[in-house]
Structure 1
Amino acid sequence: MHVDVGTIVWIYIKIPIGAIAGKAIVKECHSLAPSTLWNKFSNISGLNRKEFFKYFENVEKGFALSLESAERISSPVSLDILRSLNPDFQPPQFFTRLHEDNPLLTTLKLKKKLKHP
């Protein structure tokens, strides 16, 4: 897996919110053994040890992103809107790439510019 430093990531919050509600910029990419990832990031992973190692079960290397410049977008994009733009949209477990011609990316860029009412 490869993600370039400087890439914008859009952050989806699972149900019951079910919306893309934030964005951040990739600061660093880490591809390491799960035990090394745990040693480096356990205090900020948001997971307990059991959850972490279950997620990385049966893999030699895990992947983690360090993010910076995280912010909420002023008008979250709901799962209903995401699916109206792409009927096959399923929230990713980890990530999905959005290419420049993707209507979802166009919508996210527009929403980023909107102000709260």
Structure 2
Amino acid sequence: MGQRLREIRQLAGLTQAQVAERLEIGQTAVSKLESRRDLHVSKLREYLAAMGATLRIGAHFVDAAFMVNNLREADFRYEQVDENQLILPILGDDQLPPHRDVVFSIKPEYSRKIASGEKTIELRRRFPMSVPAGTTALIYETSPTRALAGIAEIGEVHRCAPQEIWTTFGERACITRKDFDSYFAGVDRAFAIELRHARRLARPLELSELRERFSFEPPQSFLYATPKLREALLNECAKIPD
């Protein structure tokens, strides 16, 4: 590893003395670094930073598409490169941004009830409690519609036993007890997500357009909207009526 770093330094047109000055260490210490077979990640990052570079470590998963889909639905900040590649903040002090839009996959009959104000609770088997009130919820209608068709604002997120969810929110969820029990079968905790200020988008975006423009793939449950998608929908969702 040290030899590789030395080669990179030379390609960058820097001397050991220049790197040492930027690291505020002696040139001898830099020479020792460049003779080592391995380095701590922290040392490697500091050395590269002295040359104006940012360290990135790649992890290749055999089933990349499966992993990407899971991460798209996870409570984790990422930058999407393509459908099989994400950049994740493993190193450093990057924090999750405080506000990210969420895309829900919802059956058309439930989506219409959300838009009309009849359905004000969305149920999920899993959902991050860190999603703050005021987050924009984009509603993707599943088959046969297959389009991004609605928008709402997330209120409070509740996590408790399914029976408590049913007792407190069952009526507002607009679901039968049979379907409720089937959906939450085998789980100890359920999520009830309050939705408010719901409305239909002025122009639904069909799946073909979403794929072409944003490399969008419908989530099984939910995912965080990419910055590119959020920017394109700025005129639609920047202001939700009170």
When the two structures are superposed, what TM-score results if normalisation uses the length of structure 2?
Answer: 0.42
Give the one of 186, 210, 213 matched to 1:85: 213
Matched with 1:95 is 222
CA contact (8 A) 2:150 2:199 kept: yes
Percent identity of equivalent pairs? 35
Code of the residue aligned with 1:61 in structure 2: it is: R
Code of the residue aligned with 2:219 in structure 1: it is: P
Q: Distance in 2 between matches of 1:96 and 1:34?
A: 22
1:112, distance to aligned residue in structure 2 (A): 4.7
Aligned length: 110
1:110, distance to aligned residue in structure 2 (A): 4.0
Code of the residue aligned with 2:233 in structure 1: it is: L
Matched with 1:107 is 232
Secondary structure at the counterpart of residue 96 of structure 1:
strand
Change (3 A) 1:78 1:111: farther
Q: Which has the higher contact order (CA 8 A, sep 6+)?
A: 1
Q: Distance in 2 between matches of 1:75 and 1:22?
A: 9
1:57, distance to aligned residue in structure 2 (A): 1.4
When the two structures are superposed, what TM-score results if normalisation uses the length of structure 1?
Answer: 0.82
Give the one of 58, 63, 66 matched to 2:191: 63
1:90, distance to aligned residue in structure 2 (A): 3.0
Secondary structure at the counterpart of residue 233 of structure 2:
helix
Code of the residue aligned with 1:58 in structure 2: it is: G
More strand as a share of residues: 1
Q: Distance in 2 between matches of 1:23 and 1:81?
A: 18
Q: Distance in 2 between matches of 1:81 and 1:111?
A: 16
CA contact (8 A) 1:74 1:112 kept: no
1:106, distance to aligned residue in structure 2 (A): 2.0
Q: Distance in 2 between matches of 1:26 and 1:63?
A: 13
What stretches of structure 2 of length at least 5 have no aligned partner?
1-127
Change (3 A) 1:111 1:80: farther
Secondary structure at the counterpart of residue 222 of structure 2:
coil
Matched with 1:30 is 158
1:104, distance to aligned residue in structure 2 (A): 2.0
What stretches of structure 1 of length at least 5 have no aligned partner?
none
CA contact (8 A) 2:136 2:237 kept: no
More helix as a share of residues: 2
Change (3 A) 1:74 1:112: farther
CA contact (8 A) 1:77 1:108 kept: no
RMSD: 1.8
Code of the residue aligned with 2:144 in structure 1: it is: P
Question: Where does structure 1 differ by over 6 angstroms across 4 or more consecutive aligned residues?
Answer: none
Matched with 2:143 is 15
Give the one of 161, 172, 186 matched to 1:44: 172
